[in-house]
């Protein structure tokens, strides 16, 4: 169905080809997972399948890419639309209609299909993806999970034979991610569709894949079964990392697979991992009291009571639309409470402006690029120093600590997701705010970038900053947070030590917690520390 024959791709000004001599075949009716570090060429590989590369991205493409017998060199994207459907990382950005039903019909209208065909395909798609109840909903009111399914449906109505998905679960809570992946599996198993899917959160998807293409970062690609690739790839989900460390054979790809060898492991482990010395907490830096926020009469937060102290790392979790981003917006004074109050070190954030506000709180939004306006990385750092009245070189030093050596002459839009996040975080931290807020900080990050983020956040807490993360990434919350707040429909339903909260929740528990339950272990690091202690 998809064939790459001696494909190489080089962008203008690049040091070398991003893809080099690729020879790949993805057969019909297969779910193929593409993995690799940020910058390894995943997006370029996906873009080559529907002709965006090189027709719109530029670059020099050598070799041949064919999809269902059509060469992407000879057929631009508009001539492949009936064969290849593409859903990007931000599905809502592609919406052009006002309602779900109209959005599903739009692609068919562009292809000038007859009305009776359009009506039938819309009904089929609504049933296939479980969207019947959303038929008349405005697309602007959809949750992230609903928007993802509608975006998939909008390309499915053209009856493509290939579906390309770029990070389809990166913005979704665990339950919504399962819904989307279940819909994708249905397309593969029931309709024989070929799906090419790139995803950083392998713990969610690797067990669903028929094959995996691993991009090591040198322009080449290695294709194999999930078990074959996971045995050697440096990018692995937690249970695979645990299985490799302990020499489990066969290597587990699912929690269920891991439970059998985990029985022997549980017998070797202490009742709890060795305690980590608690970080000494400082004064209260933020507090909400009976905070209620409404949007057009809809309650987004209801009488929320949250207190954050210096030295804490608090994970705020919950379904899409639970109120996580609203809580962060309230802490920065971006929304007006309908009732209750917000205080930053005793101040109402809505009364603080400019530099005075940034001295109390800094927010890194879901799209870190929203904070970046300069033409180069260097100019962004200089502007951050000037705006914060900080010594020259402050932002650049923070960036180097989190991202290493970067080409300071690059435009921020040309950075990887991890590099862009590091730059935005450096800009925020230049003002040294006591409270740092991050909204979905691991969206689009690979595992190494996430590890660097964990080190950066831990360093912030160790130096007396308070950190609050709104996140769907249960593995990040398990790794870095000391406390977890769970929201549901605007209400706080849990607030306590992260180890207690996540081990009691089947939805927000990380993979290791599910494998080793009822023992309160959350991460591979927990297991490693306990086994090392038992050996001594």
pLDDT score, position 536: 58
The per-residue pLDDT for range 160-180, each reduced to its tens digit, is 899 998 888 877 788 878 888
Predicted confidence at residue 375, as pLDDT, reads 92
Summarize the confidence of residues 119-142 as an average pLDDT. Answer: 87
Q: Which two tokens stand for residue 288?
A: 């909400």
Q: Is residue 420's pLDDT more than 80?
A: yes
**Is pLDDT at 366 greater than 90 in this prediction?**
no
In angstroms, the Cα distances linking 127 to 103, 105, 120, 153, 469 are 15, 15, 11, 10, 36
Predicted local distance difference test score (pLDDT) of residue 228? 93
d(CA 476, CA 250): 26
- Residue (of 337, 310, 319) closest to 145 by Cα position: 319
Cα angle 284-287-290, degrees, rounded to a multiple of 5:
150
Residue that has been written with the tokens 């089929």 in this structure? 124
DSSP secondary structure code for residue 351 in this structure: G
Q: What is the pLDDT of residue 361?
A: 93
Segment 398-407 long-range contacts (CB within 8 Å, at least 24 positions apart): 398/425, 398/426, 398/429, 398/430, 399/423, 399/426, 401/456, 402/426, 402/452, 402/453, 402/456, 403/452, 406/377, 407/377
Q: What is the pLDDT of residues 172-211, one digit of tens each?
A: 788 878 888 888 888 899 888 899 999 888 888 999 999 9
Question: What is the per-residue pLDDT for 376?
Answer: 92
Q: What is the mean pLDDT of residues 135-158?
A: 83
Residues contacting residue 74 through CB under 8 Å, at least 6 positions apart: none
Reported as a pLDDT band with limits 50, 70 and 90, residue 535 is low
In this predicted structure, what is the pLDDT of residue 66? 92
Give the pLDDT score at 142.
81
**344 pLDDT tier (thresholds 50, 70, 90):** very high
User: What's the whole-number mean pLDDT along residues 276-284?
Assistant: 88
Measured in degrees and rounded to the nearest 5, phi and psi for residue 194 equal -95, 125
Instruction: Write down the pLDDT at residue 521.
Output: 92
- Beta strands per DSSP E along 282-409: 284-295, 298-309, 313-318, 339-344, 361-364
Bigger pLDDT: 401 vs 384: 384
In whole angstroms, how far apart are CA 311 and each of 33, 136, 281, 342, 466? Answer: 39, 47, 5, 20, 5
Strands 466-470, 435-439: pairing is parallel
Q: Tokens for 377? A: 């990385």
* Residue 91 clears pLDDT 80, i.e. is over it: no
Predicted local confidence at residue 414, as pLDDT: 79
pLDDT tens track for 103-122: 999 888 888 889 999 999 99
Higher pLDDT, 445 or 255: 255
pLDDT attached to residue 504: 82
Please tell me the distance from the alpha carbon of residue 65 to that of residue 87, in angstroms, as a whole number.
19
Confidence of residue 392 (pLDDT cuts 50, 70, 90): very high
pLDDT at site 379: 93
Mean pLDDT, all residues of the chain: 88
Does residue 412 carry a pLDDT above 70? yes
- Percent of the residues in the chain that have a pLDDT greater than 70, as a whole number: 99
The pLDDT assigned to 534 comes to 65
What is the pLDDT averaged over residues 235-241? 91
Q: What is the pLDDT of residue 162?
A: 92
């Amino acid at each position: 169905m998809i064939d790459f024959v001696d494909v190489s791709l080089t962008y203008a000004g690049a040091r070398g080809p991003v893809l080099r001599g690729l020879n790949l075949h993805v057969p019909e009716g297969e779910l193929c997972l593409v993995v690799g570090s940020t910058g390894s060429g995943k997006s370029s590989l996906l873009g080559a399948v529907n002709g965006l590369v090189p027709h719109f991205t530029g670059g020099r493409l050598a070799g041949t890419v064919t999809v269902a017998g059509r060469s992407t060199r000879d057929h631009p994207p508009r001539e492949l639309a009936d064969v290849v459907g593409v859903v990007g990382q931000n599905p809502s950005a592609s919406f052009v209609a006002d309602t779900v039903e109209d959005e599903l019909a739009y692609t068919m209208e562009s292809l000038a299909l007859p009305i009776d065909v359009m009506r039938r395909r819309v009904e089929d798609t609504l049933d296939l993806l479980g969207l019947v109840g959303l038929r008349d909903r405005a697309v602007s009111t959809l949750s992230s999970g609903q928007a993802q399914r509608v975006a998939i449906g909008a390309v499915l109505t053209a009856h493509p034979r290939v579906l390309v998905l770029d990070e389809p679960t990166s913005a979704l809570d665990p339950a919504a991610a399962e819904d989307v992946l279940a819909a994708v599996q249905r397309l593969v198993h029931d309709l024989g569709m070929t799906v090419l899917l790139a995803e950083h959160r392998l713990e969610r998807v690797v067990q669903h894949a028929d094959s995996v293409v691993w991009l090591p970062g040198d322009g080449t690609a290695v294709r194999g079964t999930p078990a074959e690739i996971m045995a050697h790839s440096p990018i692995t989900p937690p249970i695979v990392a645990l299985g490799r460390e302990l020499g489990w054979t066969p290597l587990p790809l699912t929690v269920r697979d891991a439970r059998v060898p985990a029985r022997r492991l549980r017998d070797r482990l202490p009742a709890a991992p060795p305690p980590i010395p608690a970080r000494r907490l400082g004064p209260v830096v933020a507090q909400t009291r009976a905070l209620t926020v409404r949007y057009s009469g809809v309650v987004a937060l209801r009488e929320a009571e949250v207190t954050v102290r210096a030295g804490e790392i608090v994970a705020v979790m919950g379904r899409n639309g639970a109120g996580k981003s609203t809580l962060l917006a309230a802490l920065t004074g971006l929304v007006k409470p309908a009732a209750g109050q917000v205080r930053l070190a005793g101040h109402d954030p809505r009364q603080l402006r400019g530099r005075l506000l940034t001295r109390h709180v800094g927010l890194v939004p879901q799209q870190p690029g929203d904070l970046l306006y300069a033409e180069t990385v260097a100019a962004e750092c200089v502007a951050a120093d000037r705006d914060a009245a900080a010594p020259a070189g402050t932002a650049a030093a923070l960036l180097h600590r989190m991202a290493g050596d970067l080409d300071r002459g690059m435009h921020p839009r040309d950075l990887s997701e991890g590099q862009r996040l590091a730059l935005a975080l450096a800009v925020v931290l230049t003002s040294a705010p006591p409270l740092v807020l991050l909204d979905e900080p691991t969206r689009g990050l690979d595992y190494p970038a996430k590890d660097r983020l964990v080190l950066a956040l831990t360093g912030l807490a160790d130096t007396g900053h308070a950190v609050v993360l709104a996140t769907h990434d249960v593995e990040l919350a398990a790794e870095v947070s000391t406390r977890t707040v769970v929201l549901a429909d605007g209400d706080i339903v849990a607030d306590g030590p992260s180890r207690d909260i996540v081990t009691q929740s089947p939805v927000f528990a990380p993979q290791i917690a599910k494998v080793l339950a009822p023992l309160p272990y959350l991460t591979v690091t927990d297991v490693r520390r306990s086994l090392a202690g038992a050996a001594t």
